[in-house]
Amino acid sequence: MENDRVFDEMWGRDDSLRSPYANFHQWFDDEDPARLRAKQREAEEVFRLTGITFNVYGRAEAEERLIPFDIIPRIISGAEWQKLSRGIEQRVIAINAFLHDIYHRQEILKAGRVPREMIARNEAFLPQMMGFDPPGGIYTHITGIDLVRTDAGQFYVLEDNARTPSGVSYMLENRETMLRMFPELFSSNRVRPVSTYPRNLRRSLAACAPAGAGPKPTVAVMTPGIFNSAYFEHSFLADQMGVELVEGNDLRVMDGRVMMRTTRGYKPIDVIYRRIDDDFLDPLNFNPDSALGVPGLMGVYRAGNVTIANAPGTGISDDKAIYSYMPEIVEFYTGEKALLENVPTWRCNEPDSLAYVLDNLKDLVVKEVHGSGGYGMLIGPTATKKEIAEFRKKLMARPGNYIAQPTLSLSTVPIFTKAGLAPRHVDLRPFVLMSPDGIEITPGGLTRVALKKGSLVVNSSQGGGTKDTWVLED
């Protein structure tokens, strides 16, 4: 899996320019560095004026930050993307089949391929979804699959995001910014477009509307509000799709339908693209203290009168302990070996695995099974002895709350610095739309980049930035 030298996506391992970057590199060499520095500052100003921000939690109050953007694109060849797409499609088909199965006959549990306690004791499993068929049979309408690369032809799935995957607005704004600043680049490089995503998203959501919705279903984006870390994205997508952005207090259940308050009274909604966690969706069924949701929403949903995307209960499929069973899950539901490999994973609830992890904490990455955003994790090679000792106590107290993985030698892509190009580690989150009409994978996705030299943490909440991701037409 790992080699002594990190794989650089522009230069390979032998310092020879890789073909996807040939045209870009020629252009870069001919550019005035002073102009590029000015363009980098201009990009930052565009993001500031557009309001492309996110909120960082963990302080007394959420802190709003500008997401850093780097002007050097990450470039993937058409052949590489075709191979990735096959693996991504196979994976989302398996995830959707897995969700249907665990909320119905539970054949995979009966077959012993996934331990029953992994579902029964999992807080992301919703008994309210048992026996219910969501409209169109779709659970995962929007999925983000996090990938890391370790060599020219080697990608690994780092995690699956099937609850409320975020980041697509940054993908779209990154491309828009590059098109505005460097139009000549897109004349000399045949880059596949991403701008159709909002239109495709609306069409895909409408295709999942309940049977009685009519030919033009009403779609709305449901947000927790302006203090949510991804509020920019919620409002951006509603605007780009041409649909309403609503909060829980804009909605009510009337006559067996979910109704949206408008200036002309209440109007029924057919599809809710929710960006609210399960626990807050409906205080009558989940957290009774939730002021973000809609009382009675689940009753309307189970009656087949509204579509919720993604379906409640999908979170169990992106649980990091369930992730470790994904090779078995893919094979069980598709009859094929997984085309995209998992990162080797130790489940800390298993005594032998726990013993190994405790003995090797300084070399491993340890994550909470329900964690996200880079929070609550230990990166052994960069942690202090004190941090490792403190984490050891947490791990021993609640081993079932953690999984561990080797520290992968993530690929690098150059970023633009005052001194010129410098390699930084990256990951990739492609976005997948699923409906009864089929599966659409946007060519590219969100590339997150660790801006600190040597850092493996790419999350924006932990100091990472983003890049435009190019998939070339071959």
> Does residue 146 sit within a domain?
yes
Answer yes or no: is pLDDT of 405 > 50.
Answer: yes
Do 65 and 89 lie in one domain? The reply is yes
**CATH number for the domain that contains residue 357:** 3.30.1490.270
Answer yes or no: is pLDDT of 207 > 70.
Answer: yes
Do 96 and 157 lie in one domain? The reply is yes
Q: Looking at residue 166, what is its pLDDT?
A: 92
Burial of 10: CB neighbours in 10 Å, binned 0-12, 13-18, 19+? buried
User: Tokens standing for 254?
Assistant: 């009337």
0.85 exceeded by pTM = yes
Tell me which of 354, 384, 406 is where a domain ends.
Answer: 406
Answer yes or no: is pLDDT of 353 > 80.
Answer: yes
> Does residue 174 sit within a domain?
yes
How many percent of the chain have pLDDT more than 90? Answer: 79
Q: Looking at residues 249-268, what average pLDDT do you find?
A: 95
Asked if residues 330 and 94 have their Cβ atoms less than 8 Å apart, the reply is yes
pLDDT in tens, 146-204: 999 999 999 999 999 999 899 999 999 999 999 999 999 999 999 999 999 999 999 99
* 370: nearest Cα among 15, 26, 118, 91: 118
Distances (CA, A) of 244 to 19, 237, 238, 308, 351: 44, 10, 6, 15, 50
* 409: nearest Cα among 381, 451, 384: 381
Burial of 178: CB neighbours in 10 Å, binned 0-12, 13-18, 19+? buried
Answer yes or no: is pLDDT of 55 > 80.
Answer: no
User: Tokens standing for 392?
Assistant: 């050891």
Q: What single string gives the DSSP state of each residue in 158-202?
A: EEEE-SS---HHHHHHHHHHHHHH-HHHHHHS-BPP-TTHHHHHH
* 130: nearest Cα among 324, 319, 285: 285
Give the C-alpha separation, 408 to 151, whole Å. Answer: 11
Q: Looking at residues 127-137, what average pLDDT do you find?
A: 96
* 70: nearest Cα among 174, 180, 205: 174
Compute how many other C-beta atoms are within 10 angstroms of the C-beta atom of residue 450: 22
What secondary structure letter does DSSP report for 153? T
Do 337 and 206 lie in one domain? The reply is yes
Do 321 and 246 lie in one domain? The reply is yes
Answer yes or no: is pLDDT of 120 > 50.
Answer: yes
Do 388 and 459 lie in one domain? The reply is no
**In degrees rounded to 5, what are phi and psi of residue 400?**
-65, -10
How many percent of the chain have pLDDT more than 70? Answer: 95
Q: Looking at residue 377, what is its pLDDT?
A: 86
Position 1 confidence tier, pLDDT thresholds 50, 70, 90: very low
How many residues can be counted in the chain?
A: 474
User: Tokens standing for 462?
Assistant: 């932990």
> Does residue 7 sit within a domain?
no
> Does residue 441 sit within a domain?
yes
Most confident of 67-71, 87-91, 402-406: 87-91
Tell me which of 406, 433, 458 is where a domain ends.
Answer: 406
> Does residue 388 sit within a domain?
yes
Do 427 and 445 lie in one domain? The reply is yes
β-partners of residue 252 are 259
Do 116 and 161 lie in one domain? The reply is yes
Q: Which residues contact 92 (CB under 8 A, 6 or more apart)?
A: 140, 143, 145, 432, 434, 439
Asked if residues 448 and 427 have their Cβ atoms less than 8 Å apart, the reply is yes
> Does residue 90 sit within a domain?
yes
Tell me which of 389, 406, 423 is where a domain ends.
Answer: 406
Answer yes or no: is pLDDT of 54 > 90.
Answer: no
Residue with the bigger pLDDT between 319 and 87: it is 87
Do 325 and 392 lie in one domain? The reply is no
Q: Looking at residue 471, what is its pLDDT?
A: 98
Answer yes or no: is pLDDT of 62 > 70.
Answer: no
Q: Looking at residue 53, what is its pLDDT?
A: 62
What secondary structure letter does DSSP report for 408? -
Strand 438-441 vs strand 431-435: parallel, antiparallel, or unpaired? antiparallel
Do 115 and 229 lie in one domain? The reply is yes
Q: Looking at residue 374, what is its pLDDT?
A: 60
> 58 is in which domain, residue-wise?
19-343+408-471
Q: Which residues contact 207 (CB under 8 A, 6 or more apart)?
A: 136, 435, 436, 437
Do 395 and 432 lie in one domain? The reply is no
> Does residue 3 sit within a domain?
no
Do 218 and 289 lie in one domain? The reply is yes
User: Tokens standing for 316?
Assistant: 């169990």
Answer yes or no: is pLDDT of 373 > 60.
Answer: no
Average pLDDT for the chain = 92
Do 271 and 372 lie in one domain? The reply is no
What is the sign of the dihedral through the CA atoms of 197, 198, 204 and 207? negative
Domains contained in the chain, number? 2
Q: Looking at residues 125-130, what average pLDDT do you find?
A: 96
> Does residue 6 sit within a domain?
no
Asked if residues 320 and 336 have their Cβ atoms less than 8 Å apart, the reply is no
pLDDT in tens, 435-452: 999 999 999 999 999 998
